[in-house]
Amino acid sequence: MPHSHGSQGCCAYHRSHLTRHYKEPVIATTSAFTEGASVFGGLANMTQALSNIFSIYNPEIVAVHTTCLSEVIGDDIPMMIKKAQDEGIIPPGKTVIHANTPSFVGSHITGFANMTTAMVRYFAQRTTNAKNQINLIPGFVDPADMRELKRIAHEMGVKLVMFPDTSDVLDLPQTGVYHMYPKGGTTSAALKSTGDSLATLALGYFSAHPAAVELDEKCNVPCAFLEMPIGLTQTDRLIHALRNYAGVDVPASLNYERGRLLDVMSDMHQYFHGKRVAVAGDPDNVISLVQFLTELDMKPVYVITGSPGNHFESRVRELLKEQAPDAKIKQNADLFDLHQWIKNGPVDLLIGNSYCKHIARAENLPFVRFGFPVLDRMSHRLFPTVGYTGALRLLDKIIDALLDKQDRECPDEWFELVQ
């Protein structure tokens, strides 16, 4: 059970935002701060909340994340958890974990990384019973992406422990039966076993690498620090890492998937070559997407993220040093910056989350929705963007956006059945 230690408004906002993206009800509880908690601290609210949560909802784990208010007043969450345990408010066999996630530090990616690291801190254990499995930290991606990553590993015969895992949690089928705790996700037993795994593959500098570092320091599990497997090269690197650490061969089925992607990339090359692209989104997703766009011979000339971190600018600049050396790249940026750049130097394509639609409308740009949040479309949570299959999906969306605009605006004499 996720628990927001702060006011009801904070909890309501993030629940509504996640629900609009995933198109599934996102549950969470709250400490429901009022003026009294703001002055005297949130201990009483946390104690009452934990008592209510375990008596009403009976979860195995409560994951506490802080808000601005609880951080500003300096609430000591570990102390509160220990006090609740000492007083018997947390039943035997139940666990309460926490992560510090105020909105004035970093971004939602920082909070995601902090909570993923907390999973390692509270659960991972090193024993003498080594396990023939690989830990995979997927980064901040959709349920379909997590399912695709598991499918790739299954094709290779690799046993995974993926955390977090929102597949079969935030993309449930409609069966007519409500389950507060769906069958998907990662079990606490699996999390504990991560300390005995062969290795950890962390997909994303910002969202996944911190948890891998924590696991290495705590349990001495070797780490492979990868980037998100979006596009050809990054998917190759993931499969190469799985093969090396698990000691398996790459099956013919994945080679065929890779070949189909290469075939489509070559078939579509004439439509992509030299196109100027503006990209906005979460840093790990954008870094890998930029590399994929360069593989298509496109030119990402404007690249921004709302998250802080100089690694973003240096890594994107490295990727674009030959294809777009004069590209404008900015971390901790906003869409106003991007819009002004586009006004001064138009692009052929815009890729980003739903908030970019205002720029696309104002500048009449082909627009591909990508990343988080996507609030005004439905299928993003059902189809992956990672792996060879996800790359094909991205290619399809990009080519449709470009050719739809061409068909819509070209003169009648150039309105061809086949472009």
- Catalytic residue annotation: 68, 72
C-alpha of 203 from chain center: 10
Per-residue tokens: 63: 């994951």
The DSSP line for 346-413 is: --SEEEE-GGGHHHHHHHT--EEE-SS---S-SGGGTS--SHHHHHHHHHHHHHHHHHHHHHHHS-GG
Rounded Cα gap, residues 163 and 119, in angstroms? 8
CB 25 within 8 A of CB 11: no
Place of tokens 């703001």: 38
Strands (E), 221-376: 223-226, 276-280, 299-304, 328-330, 349-352, 367-369
Backbone angles phi, psi at 52, to 5 degrees: -70, -40
Q: Which of 139, 136, 143 is nearest to 384 (CA)?
A: 143
Per-residue tokens: 264: 């489509």
CB 246 within 8 A of CB 156: yes
Q: Give Cβ neighbours of residue 340 (< 8 Å, ≥ 6 apart).
A: none
Rounded Cα gap, residues 96 and 61, in angstroms? 6
Per-residue tokens: 76: 């000591």
